[in-house]
């Protein structure tokens, strides 16, 4: 599936979905799948690292 950054009209594959400018203002952010997927991936990575350190659950 291909996702599009509405602000810059950049196309991304869903596997590599990432907001390239997460600190910039974006009027589309509240409905942006790129931003949502990137935040979800970061959350999963943090959870996995805690589990590996024995701090999870």
Structure tokens at 19: 């907001």
Average pLDDT over every residue of 3-22: 88
5, pLDDT greater than 60 = yes
pLDDT digits (tens, 9 = 90+) for 32-55: 998 888 888 877 777 777 766 665
Distances (CA, A) of 39 to 9, 10, 34, 54: 20, 18, 9, 23
Show me where the domains of the chain are located.
2-53
- C-alpha span between 43 and 9 (Å, rounded): 26
């Amino acid at each position: 599936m291909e996702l599009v950054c509405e602000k810059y009209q950049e196309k991304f594959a869903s596997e590599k979905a990432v907001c390239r400018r997460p600190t910039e203002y974006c009027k589309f952010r509240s409905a942006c799948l790129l931003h949502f997927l990137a935040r979800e991936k970061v959350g999963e990575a943090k959870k996995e690292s805690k589990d590996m350190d024995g701090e999870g659950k």
